Structure formats: C-alpha cells, structure tokens
Amino acid sequence: MTDSPTKILIIDDERDVCTFFSRLLSRKGYQVVTAASQPEALSALQAEQFSVALVDLKLPDTDGITLLEIIKSRQPACEVIIMTGYSTVKTAVAAMQLGAYEYLEKPFDDIDQIEQLVGRAAGSGANLLKGDTSHDEWAEVAQGVGFRVGSSPAMKRMVSLAYKVAGKDISVLIQGKTGTGKEVLARFIHAASCRAGQPFIPVNCGALPENLLESELFGHEKGAFTGANQTRRGIFELANNGTLLLDEIGDATPQIQVKLLRVLETGEFMRVGGERPIKTDVRVIAATNVDLEQAIAEKSFREDLFYRLNVVRLEIPSLSARSEDIPLLAEHFVHQLNRELKLAAGTVRMLQGYAWPGNIRELANVMRRAVVICNGDTILPEHLGGTFLAGPTAPERGTVIKAVQQPDRGGMQGALLEQCGAPEELERLDADELNRLLDSLRQAQSNLLGVMRKKKIVPALHALKDSEAETIKEALAQYDGNITEAARALGIARNTLYRKIKELGLPGR
C-alpha cells in the first residue's frame, strides 16, 4: 500500500457488520471508519475524505439512497457500494442508476469477492479524484463481443449498469426499438458474467410457430406427438449453466408464459410428453420492443411473469437519440468490408440528420450498400441512396422535393396534396421519386405531430386496431399476398401475422 492508506467509510447500524468490515479491510491496509447512523456518517464525511463508502440500504434514521445522494454531493470522487438483502435488490439497482458503484448482497459469504469489489471501487475513486474518467472498466469485454458503445452519455450509463449487474445472477429485461442491438447487449452481459464460459443461446419467441415453441424451449420425449421419433433436448437443457436470451418475449403465447413462469420460480421444467421434472440452472435475459406494461393492461402479458423478468430493466436508446455515435458506427460498418474507405463530411452530416427508424440495423445495411456502390476512396452523399436525398439536408432534386420546399406555406401544401391526390401525376414519377415523396410525407407527418404536441393540439387519431389493419393490408398488397414476405417486412412472425389477419377480420390470401 502507499504511505497514505485508502480510507473506507462503513455505514451500518449493525455493530457486527461494522466490526467485520473493519477487521477484514484493515488487514488489507485500508484505513476504516465506521458509522451507525446519519449524524455519525455526516460527522465522518465532514472530517475526512474517503475513496469508498459501504452503505446499508436500510437504517433506523435514514436510508441508503439518501446517504448516497449526500455522499455524492459532498465527496463526488467517493465510490458508494450499497449493502442490501435479496428482497431489496431492485432498490439497490435503482441506487446504481443514481450513481452507486455497485451493490453487495447480505449475508457476506464470498470474502474474496468483497475484497475485489472494494479494490475496484477504490481504484475507480482514485481515478475520479485525479479527474481521470477516460477508462471504462467494461471496454475490454465490449470489444471482445464486438459491441460498439460510442460516447453518448445515456448509452455509456446504460452499459455501465449492464456490466455491474452482469455478475449478479438475476434476470434482466432489455427494452429497445427494433434494430437497436438488444441481442448484442445480451451477449455483452453474458460475456461479463461468471457464466461466460458456458453456452449463450438466443431464441426468438416470435419467430417460432406456436405449436413448436414449447418443444423448442423444453424439448420432447419420443412419441410425444406425430413426428417425434426420438427424445430431443430443449433450449433450457442446452443452455444449462449458461445464459438464455428470450428475444421478442412480448410475442410469447399465454400458454408459454405460464410455463416460463414456472421455470423461473422453481428452476424445473418438463419435456413435452414427459412425466419427470428436469432441473435447470439458466440465467434468463428477456428482450422486447413491446411495451410490456401496456401489454399487461391489455391482458396479453402476465403481470407475475413481467415481475420475474424485470428484476433489472435496461433500455437501449434509439440511434436518433445518440446521433454523436453515428459517425463511429458508420465507419465501423464500412471498415468491416473495406478498411481503406473514408466518409465525406457531407455524408456524415446527412447520416446524423436522418431519423433512423430502423436504428443500428438500418445504418449497417445502408453503409454496406454504400460500400458496394462506391467506386472511389470516399463515400459521398449520393452513395447513400434516395431515402437520404429526401431529407431536410438534401439538395433539391426533382419535382417532389421542389414541391415540398416551396416558400409559400399555402402553395406548398397545395402542391404536395395535389401531386399526391392525382394518380396521373404520381404515374409520371420513377421509383426513386416515389420513395422520396413517401419519405417526405412521413417526415412532414412527424414534424406536424411534433408541432401539434407543443401547441397542446390533440390530433384526431385512428383507433389502433384500424391503423394496424391498414398497415397489414398495405404489406399484403405490397407483396401480392405472400404471407412470409409481408411478415418479414412487418418485423413479425408468420404465425403472428396469420393471427392478426384472423383477429382483424381481414380477407384471407
């Protein structure tokens, strides 16, 4: 240790806990101060500068969250470790979102884990004291799984929390829009966990037919159903001791939800057609782009399953909310195919000005297409395709853009509506111009609704059921009734699309 020992503050009303930590950490060369109440803690903070504070979540005269806020306001470089019982894990995770370094569960069984945790926190606190925030402890793991985090503060906070809960054997729910990288985040959590050397198995709950999902998850016995010619292990068996990603969990049927709940509660399941329960030790990560709380209100998702899965919730920001990361990500996708190519400044501006409804997946596809089209050493705006040339930063091109950009507001609306309402005018446009017109209309609708929200104007809304029906009819018409292609375009499973067609009373195809 150095000449000036690292100072640790222990705040717990149980004297035995204070004595335990005092003896354990003093032997490691730390200078330990203990406090059993808020006044004693405030007095210690007034007298000395600490690198780490271990704070009990529940105290007679205050709580750990309050003390966390006090410590961080008075000594920002002091890393706070929350001590908690299992029943208060969700509160401890909330404390981490408020700035706690980690949480430690009682009883304290693993002495080595405690020593390592305090050591890491002390190192982080020392770096904060020196103003060095350049090193992210999760960076190496992220690089190992190909997870490009970027520099967005919201994204880095989310990944930091994911890294800290990765070592805890608790369920995680990942929420994010389609294409934001939910599976990559799940792989990162697995790689940062103590299960890293064991299997990681993803299963898309919305991509498997209802009659096969149970067999895929739990396996089946020989003769369980027609075609079951031999016993087959399911995903829960294959993932034993590892991590199972239940992607698109919001699409799981009510029957499957009941069986998943049983596995999470008991650690046991039965194969289809089986009579003997099978033990499993699997860390479950669930992912969805569905608002599960809304699904609970609509009675399509079980509330008890939601609480089992939602011990820790991680929300991935959409790409448009982290535009500062777009150049780094775009360059990464380009260099996957050609390390010699670079991006023109105008290309970067255009990428950052786009809304990215398909998020990172869409960006990857756009950049890979641009690499194929580019015949020089620089990717220029024209290599991005027509969608971008219809955006607000694009140059004026063709009738469509000129109609949208007319300075007279009444004339602009008239020209655009006249053009869209006249089939003979639309017939004269080529594919690129029609796509640009459609993108312009979507952007105009988005801008219009944004302004109406600001002005507290409530728009006349179609019923959700009607909008859904229209979207499905459009997709079926676009792909000439091909269910597989329409489902892929809509981002849902074929069986889900069949069910929607039946529920909405749409004509069969």
CA dihedral 211, 215, 216, 218 (to 10 degrees): 140
Among 327-331, 333-337, 437-441, whose mean pLDDT is lowest?
Answer: 437-441
430 or 54: whose pLDDT is higher? 54
**pLDDT number for residue 498:** 78
Spatial separation of the C-alpha atoms in residues 133 and 461, rounded to whole Å: 47
**H-only helix segments in 48-181:** 64-74, 89-97, 111-129, 139-144, 153-166
**pLDDT number for residue 402:** 32
Q: Are residues 301 and 329 in the same domain?
A: no
Give a yes or no: residue 397 inside a domain: no
Q: Are residues 252 and 193 in the same domain?
A: yes
Among 76, 101, 129, which residue terminates a domain?
A: 129
Write out the DSSP string of 376-393.
SSEE-GGGG-HHHHTSTT
Which amino acid is located at 81 in the chain?
I
Among 119-128, 146-155, 280-289, whose mean pLDDT is lowest?
Answer: 119-128
CATH number where 24 lies:
3.40.50.2300
**What's the number of CA atoms in the CB half-sphere (13 Å) around residue 322?**
24
- CB-CB neighbours of 240 under 10 Å: 17
Report residue 449's pLDDT band, with 50, 70 and 90 as the boundaries. low
| Strand intervals (E) in 275-380 | 278-279, 283-288, 312-315, 342-343, 378-379
3-class DSSP assignment, residue 479? coil
Q: Are residues 168 and 311 in the same domain?
A: yes
Q: Are residues 440 and 486 in the same domain?
A: no
Q: Are residues 382 and 448 in the same domain?
A: no
- List beta partners, residue 63: 58
The reply to whether omega before 507 is within 30° of 0 (cis) is: no
Give a yes or no: residue 283 inside a domain: yes
Give a yes or no: residue 241 inside a domain: yes
Spatial separation of the C-alpha atoms in residues 401 and 338, rounded to whole Å: 33
**pLDDT number for residue 118:** 93
Q: Are residues 161 and 304 in the same domain?
A: yes
Q: Does the structure show a pLDDT above 90 at 315?
A: yes
Most confident of 187-191, 373-377, 397-401: 187-191
Give a yes or no: residue 509 inside a domain: no
C-alpha distance from residue 90 to each of 116, 165, 286, 433 (Å): 23, 11, 17, 52
Spatial separation of the C-alpha atoms in residues 215 and 133, rounded to whole Å: 48
What is the tally of structural domains in the chain? 5
Q: Over the Cα atoms of the chain, what is R_g?
A: 28
Which amino acid is located at 403 in the chain?
A
Q: Are residues 73 and 56 in the same domain?
A: yes
83 or 86: whose pLDDT is higher? 83
149 or 404: whose pLDDT is higher? 149
Which whole number is the average pLDDT over 306-314? 92
Spatial separation of the C-alpha atoms in residues 479 and 336, rounded to whole Å: 32
Q: Are residues 86 and 199 in the same domain?
A: no
**pLDDT number for residue 39:** 95
Give a yes or no: residue 136 inside a domain: no
What is the overall mean pLDDT for the chain? 83
Write out the DSSP string of 136-161.
-TTHHHHHHTT----S-HHHHHHHHH
Among 2-16, 20-34, 116-130, whose mean pLDDT is lowest?
Answer: 116-130
**H-only helix segments in 130-253:** 139-144, 153-166, 182-191, 210-218, 235-238
> For the chain, give me the number of helices (H) and strands (E)?
24, 16
Q: For residue range 193-235, what is the model confidence (pLDDT) as tens digits?
A: 999 999 999 998 877 777 778 888 999 998 888 888 888 899 9
CATH number where 378 lies:
1.10.8.60
CA dihedral 201, 300, 308, 286 (to 10 degrees): 20
Which amino acid is located at 338 in the chain?
N
Q: Are residues 164 and 277 in the same domain?
A: yes
Q: Are residues 311 and 336 in the same domain?
A: no
Residue pair 77/128 in contact by the 8 Å Cβ criterion = yes
Dihedral pair phi/psi, residue 506, rounded to 5°: -80, 150
Which whole number is the average pLDDT over 321-343? 92
Give a yes or no: residue 303 inside a domain: yes
Buried b or exposed e, range 136-166, using 16+ CB within 10 angstroms: eebeebbeebebbbbebeebbebbbbbbbbb
Residue pair 25/7 in contact by the 8 Å Cβ criterion = no
Share of the chain above pLDDT 90, in %: 48
Report residue 393's pLDDT band, with 50, 70 and 90 as the boundaries. very low
CA dihedral 319, 248, 308, 298 (to 10 degrees): 100
CA dihedral 408, 409, 415, 421 (to 10 degrees): -170
- List beta partners, residue 84: 105
- List beta partners, residue 10: 34, 54
Residue pair 429/399 in contact by the 8 Å Cβ criterion = yes
**pLDDT number for residue 5:** 84
Q: Are residues 266 and 364 in the same domain?
A: no
Residues in the chain: 509
Report residue 98's pLDDT band, with 50, 70 and 90 as the boundaries. confident
Q: For residue range 413-425, what is the model confidence (pLDDT) as tens digits?
A: 444 444 455 566 6
Q: Are residues 290 and 309 in the same domain?
A: yes
Q: Domain range spanning residue 336?
A: 320-388
127 or 76: whose pLDDT is higher? 76
Share of the chain above pLDDT 70, in %: 80
Buried b or exposed e, range 470-500, using 16+ CB within 10 angstroms: eebeebbeebeeebeebbeebebbbbbbbeb
Report residue 11's pLDDT band, with 50, 70 and 90 as the boundaries. very high
Spatial separation of the C-alpha atoms in residues 232 and 215, rounded to whole Å: 8
Give a yes or no: residue 408 inside a domain: no
Buried b or exposed e, range 429-441, using 16+ CB within 10 angstroms: beebbebbbebbe
